[in-house]
Amino acid sequence: MAYLTDELARAVPTCDTAGMDEDSCWAAVQRRDRAFDGRFVTGVLTTGIYCRPSCAARHPKRDNVRFFATGAEAAATGLRACLRCKPDEVARDAEAVAKAVALIAASESPPSLDRLAEAVGYSPFHFHRLFKRATGVTPADYARARRAGQMQRSLEAEPRITDAIYDAGYSGPSRFYDDAKRRLGMTPSAWRNGGRGETIRWATAETDLGTMLVAATKRGICRLSFDEDESVLHRRFPNAAIEHGGAEMAELVRRTVAAVNAPEKPHDLPLDVHGTAFQEAVWRELQKIPAGETRSYAQIAAAVGRPAAVRAAGTANGDNNVAVLIPCHRVIRTDGTLGGYAYGLERKEKLLRREKANA
């Protein structure tokens, strides 16, 4: 094939890549980061091809690389699509995920993986990986989280539980009640009525980070915070039975204090936390960050398959209700500064310093 001449190579510009700078693009290429597939393509002037950022081919020299927002822009300069990574199929992949999301939204019950894969023309195995890479969660997890969101909206809008069941897309009450207990942490009527009929036990204890509030349902810890008292629980669940934990909660409090005082050590504390599909994907990613290390908000967004959703990742990070146990303190800004922390930057800095020293 005819490679680009030096004169033409110098004339090939790096095009706008959705707001990313060249260093970020090159770093994604070096990592072969699939989360950036579709955001830009990499043109290799010496071979005359353009690739996905995740292409498994040997990395070219940096001087021979140009970045383009789309394959069409790369092709307009004379480059051809790589036959190995097939960068032009990224658009097809995105369309497949979008079609599956629409199918999930329109289905009365969550469609099976086989049905989704058949509808978009992929094998189940390939589509499962594709969907998780694009959204950060599996098709089943996405369907469950979406239904949980619809469940909450229906419970808030419909005067009768029966109406909410069908408005949320359920064909009957059995699955609705099972899902509600798992996703909301309580029965539908209790959730809609501010926790009526539910018991949330709480306690405070002194830790190296100050006074800690820990609250738990019978399923696990639903809140861990600092500088708060039980009034925060009354505001969220005004009709729940908010009770002091007493001796019944002593062992859980002891284990929680130990986890807070030594965050670099793994814990097996039961958690009862629920969120949207995106929030839960972010929280799972936070739990993967090793003690003593940090990630940027941009890295978290990329890791859950939404590299452009940096602000949303930051919001999901802040929506974490169990501080330290889900280590949102390990996420910092791209420039290395601490960013925000609901319980004060002094605590965040202390946590990171301790973890780095003891990891």
Catalytic positions: 51, 328
Tell me the C-alpha distance between 130 and 8, whole Å: 36
In the numeric block, which tokens belong to residue 140?
Answer: 């089943």
> Is 51 annotated as belonging to a binding site?
yes
* Parallel, antiparallel or unpaired: strands 199-207 and 80-81: unpaired
Q: What is the dihedral of CA 294, 297, 301, 307, to 10 degrees?
A: -120
> Is 25 annotated as belonging to a binding site?
no
CA-derived radius of gyration, the chain: 24
* φ/ψ (deg, to 5) at 226: -125, 155
Contacts of 304 (CB under 8 A, 6+ apart): 35, 135, 136, 137, 278, 281, 282, 285, 313
Nearest to 6 by CA among 82, 80, 63, 73: 63
> Is 222 annotated as belonging to a binding site?
no
| H helix count then E strand count, the chain | 16, 10
Could you list the residues known to form a binding site for Zn(2+), using ranges. Answer: 51, 55, 82, 85
Could you list the residues known to form a binding site, using ranges. Answer: 51, 55, 82, 85
